[in-house]
Amino acid sequence: MFTGIITALGTVRAITPIGQGHDMRLVIGVPPAFLHSAAHGEVAQPPVQLGASIACSGCCLTATELGADSFAADASAETLAKTTMGTWRVGTAINLERSLRLGDELGGHLVSGHVDGVGTATSATPENASTRWRFRVPPDLARFIAAKGSVAVDGVSLTVNDVADDTFGVNIIPHTAAVTRFGMLAPGDPVNIEIDMLARYVARLAEFR
């Protein structure tokens, strides 16, 4: 489980086919402190261990190898097909977050790291001191996104400001742009979308009324 508060930017260093070539092993370079110090606020955390869950631009991956400033993780063909990971290349920037521990500050919202679908950035418009980003999502996800609700975009916890059909808008402040890959995003780019799990359960319960 995660909070959607990005704590570091990583970079894809290597992508290697495994198995029959449909799965991939990724090596992601990270700031050394990400693996060895606190990931949420000032609460001390132990170093990342083998088998730990790490959110990579919203995708929960398992650390299978650890280095001084990198970790490796395997991604199945299903994950590559259903997320933006299939488009990652050496040099791609990755939003990173270590998993939430009991007692950590919940600064964003509860994020599972299970991507629901791939959306597309459609526009970025300066708005006062921030930037209004708009995203288009698959129709089957649009009904779960509501104004003033929460959504995770590439693993970043955001508040939805407006909704129109299959698009929604969020405001990105300069700090968020500086510490996440929003500072590198461009209209037309694909993004991982995870809807608020509460919205999914409410919709499911409504089906039985």
The domain total for the chain is: 2
Model confidence pTM above 0.85? yes
Query: What is the pLDDT confidence band of residue 38, given thresholds at 50, 70 and 90?
Result: low
pLDDT band at 39 (very low <50, low <70, confident <90, very high): very low
Judge contact between 145 and 163, C-beta under 8 A. yes
Q: Tell me how far apart the terminal alpha carbons of the chain are, to the nearest angstrom.
A: 30
CATH number (domain holding residue 142) = 2.40.30.20
Residue 150 domain-assigned (yes or no): yes
Q: Each residue of 56-103: pLDDT tens digit?
A: 999 999 999 999 999 999 999 999 999 999 999 999 999 999 987 665
Q: Which domain holds residue 133?
A: 117-206
CA pair distance 38, 205, nearest whole angstrom: 38
Report which of 146, 133, 123, 137 is spatially closest to residue 200, judged by C-alpha positions. 146
Residues in the chain: 209
Q: In the prediction, which pLDDT does 46 show? A: 77
DSSP string computed for 129-187: TEEEEEEE--HHHHTT--TT-EEEETTEEEE--EEETTEEEEEE-HHHHHHSGGGG--T
Based on the fold, state whether residues 65 and 17 are members of the same structural domain.
yes
pLDDT value for 20: 77
